Chain A
Amino acid sequence: MAEFTIIGKPIAMVDAAGKTTGAGKYTDDLSLPGMLIGKILHSPCPHARIKRIDTRRAKALDGVVAVVTGADAPKTYGILPVGHDETALAVDKVRYVGDNVACVTAVDEATAENALELIDVEYEVLPAYFDPEESMKAETDLIHEGKPHNIEKDYHHVFGDPEKAFREADYVAEGRFIANEVTHAAMEPHSTLASFELDPHTGNLGRLTVWSSTQVPYYLQHKLSLVLEMPMSQIRVIKPLVGGGFGGKSEVIPLEIIAAVAARAARAPVKVTYTREEVFWAHRGRPRTIVDLKTAVKNDGRITAVKARVVQDGGAYCSYGVVTILYSGALLGALYDIPNIQYDGYRVLTNKPACGAMRGHGTVNVRFAFESQLDEISAKLGIDPAEIRRRNLLKPPCITINGLRVQSYGLPESIEQVVERSGWKQRKGKLSKGRGLGLGCSHYVSGAANSIIRSDMPHSTVNIKIDRDGGVVVYTGASEIGQGSDTMTAQIAAEVLGCSLARVKVVAADTDLTPIDIGSYSSRVTFMAGNATLRAAEQVREQIASAAARKMNCAIEDLVFGDDKVARQGLAGGSGTGEAPVPTQPGATASGRVEGQILRGSLQQKRTEEGPKDRMSFEEAVVAAIDFHGALTGTGSYAPPAEARGGKHKGAGVGPSPAYSYSAQVAEVSVDEDTGEVTVHKVWAAHDCGRALNPVAVEGQIIGSVWMGLGQALQEEMVWKDGMLMNPGLLEYRSPSAVESPKIEPIIIESIDPEGPFGAKECSEGSLAATIPAIANAIYDAVGIRLHESPFTPERVLAALRAKKNAKAINMTQGVDPLAPTRFREHGGSLCFRGKGPERHRLDPARRETAGEAGGDD
């Protein structure tokens, strides 16, 4: 195995100090002279036609500069080319409670909030759809024109002959699984600052600069161009530090466009930052998913067919929905060897905030269903859950029945490791009453092999510039969102160039400076931007090598880069302490300062006098290369190879990836049979990440994924009532705190992918999906109940326990509306409700009926 000096070592993130000292700047930390604050008016109705908007009173308020509405930017956009169904602000209709209606810009936040109250909007309330299966029956009052039955998209895939396999099966398991809606809840609320420059030639508004909490500056630039009807070249998007994404910032969020529209109208810089409640409305999280799953097996545990019907509650706009519903079907495939698959997927529109991409995009809820059902099968057939998985492994290199190419496959080793470390063989089924172990597996793409914007452009391009100071500047469009993108880039560049990490400066995610990169989502950065960095660095190294070889009078192949030096082979290894120092100019320092002080000619003369050397310092080699080539720059790009891009069927573009990560987990839980409370004691999580470029970061990503899966498994859930979100706060949403978080033991499995940079694959998402079924299966092991609906709250656990005993279910909330808020709550200034449920719009028929008895809500 090759020896590495920079990669494979646990190192602190290159931007860590800014984060721990508070010096690092996130978008909301920025301000510009003359900057105004924007506040958005949201819809109180889940589905209504806007009959009239009057902003005059708001505009007249002291301190208000501009008020914009849908008419100021009516062009439609959407993250997917097939889903252009959004406008920055509602043009004719609002489609969920929280939909964006108008934006006020004012000198401060309080003034803007006051002005929101002065905007008069008249709505004509329309019937609304909240349940996807009900929504699919809709004939009238459709959420979007041209989407009959409110179905955004449906796909029907058949691979092999599933009907035959089901007929010939020894056992068929069948069941309905429901995973409720969850959201990213990244700690940083979305924020955007937009500012126009005046054009010196026309005197009018010219270039636009936008700082935004985005995972994909390029997509934002693209959509801004579309909506503002400006050329992309006139728009610069800069991504400051981003406080977590998890997919929630991977598409264009309304405020990002609204801020720019408002800045154009106000003719001043405008910053819009969501309140936490607005973040919940912006959402784009993981949809509530109904999975009807059927699996056919032979008596030996071999899976012969899978049939899945998946309905996703997509919310009011397309968002990433078409991709989500395809991922749910496509990634049934690459984990195990399944010869026959039938998939029917429905992405349905409802009058709730749009769902989009969230960590483990599209795969998580289906994986919960599949791995739970596999556990049921293993119990039925009397085969150990680890063993049944072993019997269904792929035999890579291979191409799955649905066209996914698998080259590296660390699943077998992942299963072995978690079985070993958890004491599975000795402890499974033998723990004390109410305690159990469960196993779950999952996988995920290392970036999508096909870009959502169809083109032949590379998915990542990286430029490297080295100047006479010996500093290496890497320009990459990849977005650091906390996952370690910048650190990975610096590590790869330093490793290839054999220089110290301190020399490398990463300039990232600024569309004026950095080449196009399709951003940080679908776990693509290490694989794609990493490969592009690798290639750019190799190009630069070649240039340095050709100059250094001349200087040293040797062949290029004889050179070794490392330890901040370029040396002739055989000499590099002995360059430890105590060796003669590399000859440098008198007064030369590590920074190469001497180059600025001594004339080039005399320096060259001096070098000539020295004659050929055995080694050069990195700076010397760089100077030689610049003297020789004129400039020292390199470019590398990456596009997935054609073989990895999948099959030809409709929808085949989603699912293929150049490489897949694999994960296996064992969870140990205990269940309190009196309260229904589930406690997770420990999760052993093995993850095949190809090669761990930075083990600390990889472990952090594995733990973070497992932890987020745990939240979805046990407590996180978006609770709805008539289209109103009942828990739009971090406490109410119940993100797990330190005391609720178990010990998670990350286990790194390195399968060394043939195409990954140094063999690396993804490590940030794949682990999430295994956690939920591992916990579900452990609950079964503990108390013998199968939970088919997540999260596994005490209510659901108790209900299942009582059902198992054939006891009558207890209605724990009898006589009490569990969803009724008990106190007045107001965030963001536009919504309020009291007593039972939301305040209804005055034209809402439901309100008129109750107005008399309740004495009116106003």
Chain B
Amino acid sequence: MKKELIELKVNGRMRELAVAPSKVLLEVLREDLQLTGSKRGCDDSSCGACTVLVDGTPMLSCTLLAASCQEQEITTVEGISEHGSLAAIQKAYGDRGGAQCGYCTPGFIITVKHLLSVNPNPSDEEIREALSGNLCRCTGYSQMYEAIKAAIEAEQRGLAAL
């Protein structure tokens, strides 16, 4: 298939790319932009490891055509760290055992980031609901909940300090 020139804004940086119209966003991120943080776990939008934010909404990049994402803000896990430091949720996932093998973690980080941006103080039920589109085979999710709560606390402490 003949390639077309597209422009993608990924993690705040505009990139010009020649890609086949059939190429999905995940492949473009991983192969053309070397942003390998987003993972391929299933090919059919069942696992959530490839989750990225498109204009602030979590989307599965494995079933999203790259060419359809022009003029939208794409945020991958590489764009989550704040000013070169771990974001509160990243630190908390490490401290509380939210990540074991880590393969699903980028997808979860994106999902949680979105959850906390729309609902800064979610209930247990809401957290479970939000995470249900992402699969993890290591943790049984329990320590993720602790990490999320710790991150919320850290964020609130940080806000209070301001």
- Known interface pairs A21-B77, A739-B128; A482-B44 also in contact (CB < 8 Å): no
Task: Assess whether B141 is in contact with A244, with CB atoms less than 8 Å apart.
Answer: no
> Nearest-CB distance from A332 to chain B (Å)?
27
Q: Which residues of B contact A241 (CB under 8 A)?
A: 101-103
Task: Assess whether A20 is in contact with B135, with CB atoms less than 8 Å apart.
Answer: no
> Nearest-CB distance from A668 to chain B (Å)?
16
Q: Which residues of B contact A12 (CB under 8 A)?
A: 94-95
Segment among A180-188, A336-344, A750-758, A840-848 that sits at the interface with chain B: A180-188
Question: Which residue from chain B places its CB closest to the CB of A109 in the assembled complex?
Answer: B27
The range of chain A's interface size is 35 or more
Identify which of residues 124-153 in chain B touch chain A, using a CB-to-CB cut-off of 8 Å: 127-129, 131-144
Task: Assess whether B105 is in contact with A19, with CB atoms less than 8 Å apart.
Answer: yes
Question: Which residue from chain B places its CB closest to the CB of A484 in the assembled complex?
Answer: B100
Segment among A24-32, A611-619, A635-643, A792-800 that sits at the interface with chain B: A24-32
Q: Mark B13-35, 1 if CB is under 8 A from A, else 0.
A: 00000000000000000100001
Among candidates A13, A22, A25, residue contacting B38 with C-beta atoms closer than 8 Å: A22
> Nearest-CB distance from A739 to chain B (Å)?
5
Segment among A162-170, A309-317, A697-705 that sits at the interface with chain B: A697-705
Q: Mark A272-284, 1 if CB is under 8 A from B, else 0.
A: 0101110000000
Most buried by B among A15, A21, A187, A735: A187
Identify which of residues 85-134 in chain B touch chain A, using a CB-to-CB cut-off of 8 Å: 86, 89-91, 93-97, 99-106, 109, 127-129, 131-134
The answer to whether the Cβ of A580 comes within 8 Å of any Cβ in the partner chain is no
- Known interface pairs A12-B95, A483-B100, A703-B140; A25-B135 also in contact (CB < 8 Å): no
The answer to whether the Cβ of B61 comes within 8 Å of any Cβ in the partner chain is no
Tell me, in angstroms, the Cα distance from A708 to B78 when the chains sit together.
Answer: 30
Question: Which residue from chain A places its CB closest to the CB of B136 in the assembled complex?
Answer: A187
Tell me, in angstroms, the Cα distance from A12 to B93 when the chains sit together.
Answer: 9
> Nearest-CB distance from A718 to chain B (Å)?
15
Task: Assess whether A730 is in contact with B97, with CB atoms less than 8 Å apart.
Answer: no
- Known interface pairs A26-B39, A275-B43, A276-B43; A244-B103 also in contact (CB < 8 Å): yes
Among candidates B44, B86, B103, residue contacting A21 with C-beta atoms closer than 8 Å: B86
The answer to whether the Cβ of A621 comes within 8 Å of any Cβ in the partner chain is no
Identify which of residues 241-273 in chain A touch chain B, using a CB-to-CB cut-off of 8 Å: 241-246, 273
Task: Assess whether B41 is in contact with A21, with CB atoms less than 8 Å apart.
Answer: no
Identify which of residues 40-78 in chain B touch chain A, using a CB-to-CB cut-off of 8 Å: 40-44, 46-47, 49, 76-78
Task: Assess whether B137 is in contact with A187, with CB atoms less than 8 Å apart.
Answer: yes
Tell me, in angstroms, the Cα distance from A273 to B27 when the chains sit together.
Answer: 14
Question: Which residue from chain B places its CB closest to the CB of A22 in the assembled complex?
Answer: B37
Task: Assess whether A738 is in contact with B101, with CB atoms less than 8 Å apart.
Answer: no
Q: Which residues of B contact A16 (CB under 8 A)?
A: 93-95, 99, 102
The answer to whether the Cβ of B80 comes within 8 Å of any Cβ in the partner chain is yes
Task: Assess whether B41 is in contact with A704, with CB atoms less than 8 Å apart.
Answer: no
Tell me, in angstroms, the Cα distance from A100 to B96 when the chains sit together.
Answer: 41
The answer to whether the Cβ of A2 comes within 8 Å of any Cβ in the partner chain is no
> Nearest-CB distance from B49 to chain A (Å)?
6
Task: Assess whether B138 is in contact with A697, with CB atoms less than 8 Å apart.
Answer: no
Question: Which residue from chain B places its CB closest to the CB of A732 in the assembled complex?
Answer: B46
- Known interface pairs A21-B80, A22-B38, A738-B128; A707-B140 also in contact (CB < 8 Å): yes
Tell me, in angstroms, the Cα distance from A15 to B100 when the chains sit together.
Answer: 10
Among candidates B36, B39, B43, B101, residue contacting A482 with C-beta atoms closer than 8 Å: B101
Tell me, in angstroms, the Cα distance from A13 to B137 when the chains sit together.
Answer: 18
Among candidates A730, A739, A743, residue contacting B47 with C-beta atoms closer than 8 Å: A730
Q: Which residues of B contact A244 (CB under 8 A)?
A: 100-101, 103, 137-138
> Nearest-CB distance from B145 to chain A (Å)?
9
Q: Which residues of B contact A556 (CB under 8 A)?
A: none
- Known interface pairs A16-B93, A739-B129; A187-B103 also in contact (CB < 8 Å): yes
CB contacts between A and B, total, < 8 Å: 177
Among candidates A17, A277, A700, residue contacting B139 with C-beta atoms closer than 8 Å: A700
Among candidates B44, B78, B127, B136, residue contacting A729 with C-beta atoms closer than 8 Å: B44
Q: Which residues of B contact A382 (CB under 8 A)?
A: none
Tell me, in angstroms, the Cα distance from A176 to B127 when the chains sit together.
Answer: 41
Q: Which residues of A contact B100 (CB under 8 A)?
A: 244, 482-484, 700, 704
The answer to whether the Cβ of B156 comes within 8 Å of any Cβ in the partner chain is no
The answer to whether the Cβ of A741 comes within 8 Å of any Cβ in the partner chain is yes
Task: Assess whether A744 is in contact with B97, with CB atoms less than 8 Å apart.
Answer: no
Among candidates A188, A243, A703, residue contacting B142 with C-beta atoms closer than 8 Å: A703
Task: Assess whether B102 is in contact with A482, with CB atoms less than 8 Å apart.
Answer: yes
Q: Which residues of B contact A737 (CB under 8 A)?
A: 131-133, 135
Tell me, in angstroms, the Cα distance from A275 to B37 when the chains sit together.
Answer: 18
Question: Which residue from chain B places its CB closest to the CB of A740 in the assembled complex?
Answer: B132
Task: Assess whether A23 is in contact with B37, with CB atoms less than 8 Å apart.
Answer: yes
Tell me, in angstroms, the Cα distance from A703 to B136 when the chains sit together.
Answer: 12
Task: Assess whether A21 is in contact with B90, with CB atoms less than 8 Å apart.
Answer: yes
Q: Which residues of A contact B96 (CB under 8 A)?
A: 696
- Known interface pairs A22-B38, A739-B129, A741-B140; A187-B46 also in contact (CB < 8 Å): no
Tell me, in angstroms, the Cα distance from A290 to B41 when the chains sit together.
Answer: 32
Question: Which residue from chain B places its CB closest to the CB of A242 in the assembled complex?
Answer: B101
Task: Assess whether B36 is in contact with A29, with CB atoms less than 8 Å apart.
Answer: yes
Identify which of residues 588-623 in chain A touch chain B, using a CB-to-CB cut-off of 8 Å: none
> Nearest-CB distance from A527 to chain B (Å)?
19
Among candidates B47, B95, B103, B109, residue contacting A26 with C-beta atoms closer than 8 Å: B103
Q: Which residues of A contact B137 (CB under 8 A)?
A: 184-187, 244, 246, 708, 735
Task: Assess whether B36 is in contact with A738, with CB atoms less than 8 Å apart.
Answer: no
Q: Which residues of A contact B139 (CB under 8 A)?
A: 700, 703-704, 707
Tell me, in angstroms, the Cα distance from A23 to B94 when the chains sit together.
Answer: 14
> Nearest-CB distance from A771 to chain B (Å)?
11
- Known interface pairs A729-B42, A730-B41; A697-B140 also in contact (CB < 8 Å): no
Tell me, in angstroms, the Cα distance from A482 to B94 when the chains sit together.
Answer: 12
Identify which of residues 24-68 in chain A touch chain B, using a CB-to-CB cut-off of 8 Å: 24-26, 28-29
- Known interface pairs A13-B94, A244-B103, A481-B101; A22-B78 also in contact (CB < 8 Å): yes
Tell me, in angstroms, the Cα distance from A13 to B89 when the chains sit together.
Answer: 15
> Nearest-CB distance from B131 to chain A (Å)?
4
Among candidates A243, A481, A483, A738, residue contacting B131 with C-beta atoms closer than 8 Å: A738
Most buried by A among B47, B138, B141: B138
Task: Assess whether B99 is in contact with A703, with CB atoms less than 8 Å apart.
Answer: no
Question: Which residue from chain B places its CB closest to the CB of A16 in the assembled complex?
Answer: B94
> Nearest-CB distance from B11 to chain A (Å)?
11
Task: Assess whether A827 is in contact with B101, with CB atoms less than 8 Å apart.
Answer: no
Q: Which residues of A contact B76 (CB under 8 A)?
A: 22
Q: Mark A177-198, 1 if CB is under 8 A from B, else 0.
A: 0000000111111000000000
> Nearest-CB distance from A336 to chain B (Å)?
27
> Nearest-CB distance from B157 to chain A (Å)?
18
Tell me, in angstroms, the Cα distance from A730 to B135 when the chains sit together.
Answer: 9
Tell me, in angstroms, the Cα distance from A677 to B106 when the chains sit together.
Answer: 33
> Nearest-CB distance from A645 to chain B (Å)?
31
Most buried by A among B44, B78, B91, B96: B44
Task: Assess whether A189 is in contact with B143, with CB atoms less than 8 Å apart.
Answer: no
- Known interface pairs A185-B137, A696-B97; A22-B103 also in contact (CB < 8 Å): no
Q: Which residues of B contact A743 (CB under 8 A)?
A: 142
Tell me, in angstroms, the Cα distance from A15 to B77 when the chains sit together.
Answer: 16
Tell me, in angstroms, the Cα distance from A770 to B148 when the chains sit together.
Answer: 29
Tell me, in angstroms, the Cα distance from A739 to B141 when the chains sit together.
Answer: 10
Q: Which residues of B contact A13 (CB under 8 A)?
A: 94, 97, 99
Task: Assess whether A741 is in contact with B138, with CB atoms less than 8 Å apart.
Answer: no
Tell me, in angstroms, the Cα distance from A737 to B139 when the chains sit together.
Answer: 11
Other A-B contacts than A19-B102, A703-B143, A730-B46, 7 sampled, CB-CB below 8 A, are A15-B102, A17-B94, A20-B89, A21-B81, A187-B137, A703-B142, A730-B41
Interface residues of A (CB under 8 A from B): 10, 12-13, 15-26, 28-29, 184-189, 241-246, 273, 275-277, 481-484, 696-697, 699-700, 703-704, 706-708, 710, 729-731, 735, 737-739, 741, 743-744, 827
Closest 4 CB pairs of A and B: A22-B37, A482-B101, A19-B102, A243-B103
- 13 sampled A-B residue pairs with Cβ under 8 A: A21-B77, A22-B38, A186-B103, A187-B41, A188-B103, A189-B41, A276-B41, A276-B43, A482-B102, A704-B100, A730-B41, A738-B132, A827-B43
